[in-house]
Amino acid sequence: MVGEGVIAVVPSFLIESAVYNAPTRHFIHDTWTARVEAVLAHIYTGTTTDDCISSKDWLEVNRVKYLFADGQSWSRETANTFALQAWRYVGFGS
């Protein structure tokens, strides 16, 4: 996506941690397409606004600190933009 100019570089640790915070039920769909769709939707809806209760409690994959804590080199908006652009890139919708 970066190489094609679809999105700016997003830290892989942010993506990994956002996916880590998706509920298990999103990973038990019958197809990979359905799994990716469910996880991207979860990341997008969970990061839409600062008032999203769920993303306030998201942890880094190492469980050391909150994913969107002050002082991080990324923001909730970064994750939201990534999820939306990835959603569009794989063809789930506009």
What pLDDT shows up at residue 38?
97
Contacts of 60 (CB under 8 A, 6+ apart): 13, 17, 20, 66, 67
pTM more than 0.75: yes
Residue 6, pLDDT > 70, answer yes
d(CA 62, CA 41): 23
d(CA 48, CA 5): 23
Handedness of CA 63, 67, 70, 74 (dihedral sign): positive
Over residues 56-67, the mean pLDDT reads: 94
d(CA 50, CA 57): 12
What pLDDT shows up at residue 49?
78
Residue 94, pLDDT > 70, answer no
Number of other residues whose CB lies within 10 A of the CB of residue 40: 24
- For 59, phi then psi, to 5°, come to -110, 155
Q: With residue 6 as reference, give the H or E element that holds it.
A: none
pLDDT digits (tens, 9 = 90+) for 15-58: 999 999 999 999 999 999 999 999 999 999 999 877 666 788 89
Residue 68, pLDDT > 90, answer yes
